[in-house]
Amino acid sequence: MKTIGLIGGMSWESTQTYYRLVNQHVRMALGGLHSARVVLYSVDFADIEALQHQGNWEATAEILAAAGSAVEAAGADCLVLCTNTMHKVAEPLEAAVSIPLLHIAGATARVLQRQGIACVGLLGTRFTMEQAFYIERLQRHGIEVVVPTEPQRERVHTVIYQELCLGVVKAEAKADYLEIIEALAERGAQGVILGCTEIGLLVQQADTPVPLFDTTEIHAEQAVQWALGHGFV
């Protein structure tokens, strides 16, 4: 088994989900008392969040590059960035290390292709929904992307930063998200990507008939498959 390097803390609410999932998948694959070999570096999200909203992505890249180098030095064989938004700086992070970065959008695109999804809705932070770094990665796999309207994007973004990242789950927010998911389906989305690692804390597949693609679940599972030498699932 190879060692999975996790860069988390963005937020720690979803990072603990990553840690649980990678260990569960290893146990399912190997049985008994097996657990994942993991190196975890957790950043202070307050620093990252401030720089995000300042638009200072270069500084965020420097923080994550330092984290990636530390994870590699600690013995990790691959790098998993436990956040969707910060894949905006995936390229400088990759340049800072010699181990592979398992890209969350690429992992999700493979699952979408396997399920025959040609048009997908995308929920996430404003950065993920509005900037090119994530959408273009999906489009390169031949997948059309539909994003919420501007007021809906504002609501999705606000709930992420002011509630979910703080571990707060409200029924009102869940109802709003489900309404937005339904609206995306009405606009032609065959499924919806939960493109922020905290959204799975709020909405699950049992809540809606619209197929959901939880990037945290997908990313963690593919990291384990890679670590076990099975390639990507």
Distance CA 121, CA 180 (A): 10
Distance CA 30, CA 15 (A): 23
Among 125, 196, 215, 216, the active-site one is 196
| Residue matched to tokens 């504002």 | 154
As beta bridge partners, residue 194 has 123, 214
- For residues 6 and 78, the answer to whether their CB atoms sit within 8 Å is no
Which pair of tokens denotes residue 232?
């990507």
Distance CA 144, CA 123 (A): 14
Distance of CA 31 to the CA centre of its chain: 27
ω before 11 within 30° of 0 (cis)? Answer: yes
Among 83, 108, 128, 216, the active-site one is 83
Distance CA 4, CA 73 (A): 13
Is 83 part of the annotated catalytic residue set?
yes
Q: How many CA atoms lie within 13 A of 28 on its CB side?
A: 9
Q: Fill in the DSSP letter of residue 34.
A: -
Active site residues per annotation: 83, 196
